[in-house]
Each structure stands twice: as C-alpha cells, then as structure tokens.
Amino acid sequence: MQLILASASPRRRELIARLGLEPSGIAPADIDETPQKGELPRDYAQRMAREKALAVNAEGHVLAGDTVVAAGRRILPKAEDEATARQCLDILSGRRHRVLSAIALKAPDGTVRERLSDTIVRFKRLSTEEIASYLASGEWEGKAGGYAIQGAAEGLIQRIDGSHSGVVGLPLYETRALLKAAGFKIG
C-alpha cells in the first residue's frame, strides 16, 4: 500500500518514521489556509487537514495534517517574521493554550477518515530577555504560534497535557489508529 504525505514538513516525515513507515511520496498540498470569518480553531484545523488531503491527487492513501495554536477562540498565526513571533509569545506568556493537531487520511476511493488531537500547553511567564533569546534562535520561523516545542521552547513550558507529537505536528497515537484502520501494517 502506498502512503503519500501531503506535507513538506521534515518534522512530519520524522514523526511518521517513528511508526516504522516511509512515505511512498511527498506531495505538499497547495491550498488557501485563510481562516473563515468566525471559524473556531478546532473547526479550522479539521478543515485544513481534510482540504489538504483532498487537494492531493495521487495513487494510494494521502495523509495530511494541520496544527493550530489557539489562545481561547483566537487562532495564532504561523510566525513569518520576528514581530509576529514576539506578539505570539507575548500572548502565550504565563498562560495556557490549546494545540489542535488534525489529521486526515484519504483512501484511494476518495473517502476521508479524520482524527484530532487536543493538547493543553502552559508557558511560564516569559521575561523580555527570554523572549529576545528565543527570537534570536530563529526556531520560531514558520511555526504556528511562534514556537517549536521540540527545541529551546520546551524549556519555557511548565506543563503539557496531551500529545507531545501532536504539538510537534503529527499526533502519533491518532495517526497510528487511522493507518491501522486503513490496513497499514504497523508494529
């Protein structure tokens, strides 16, 4: 059975390898990722994963995912510049937030199975120096909410309740369940 990963993310490739799988191909989905007016973070994450899976035309199964950092009902952006990353870290400092990691698996017949991981993360209160130091690392670039838990930001997190791999970008428990249900052999 072929598995196409609808993502160029090296983190997702590393995570899928932890399940003992090597994608047959990589086909990043090119879709509009703008949240709809009034769209809640959970709905947005699920819609993005589903639309990414459906956008890839390939033989075999297509696995797509999307990770959203949410402060209340607010969807925090992917940090494309330092000012956005600083704004995200200011919002997250000293409070808890949700990381919603949705996955969708499109079968060759076009049917889509979906799962969602909902993780609560709490940052310590960040000092100006800690934020400046983290920004200088560059780890925040292109990351939802302006941080990468698999790097230096992990030392700024007081507590995590849920899926660590989901915060990184691919919830392994949910991914494993979807792939097993589709007939993939996973140990």
Q: Which residues contact 183 (CB under 8 A, 6 or more apart)?
A: 1
3-class secondary-structure state, position 4? strand
Q: Give the pair of three-digit tokens for residue 84.
A: 């956005």
Sign (positive/negative) of CA torsion 11, 173, 55, 185?
Answer: positive
DSSP state, residue 152: G
**Residues identified as active-site:** 66
Q: Which residues contact 159 (CB under 8 A, 6 or more apart)?
A: 96, 120, 121, 122
For residues 56 and 62, the answer to whether their CB atoms sit within 8 Å is: yes
User: Which pairing describes strands 157-161 and 112-123: parallel, antiparallel, or unpaired?
Assistant: antiparallel
Q: Give the pair of three-digit tokens for residue 182.
A: 């589709």
Query: Could you count the other beta carbons within 10 Å of the beta carbon of residue 51?
Result: 18
For residues 168 and 9, the answer to whether their CB atoms sit within 8 Å is: no
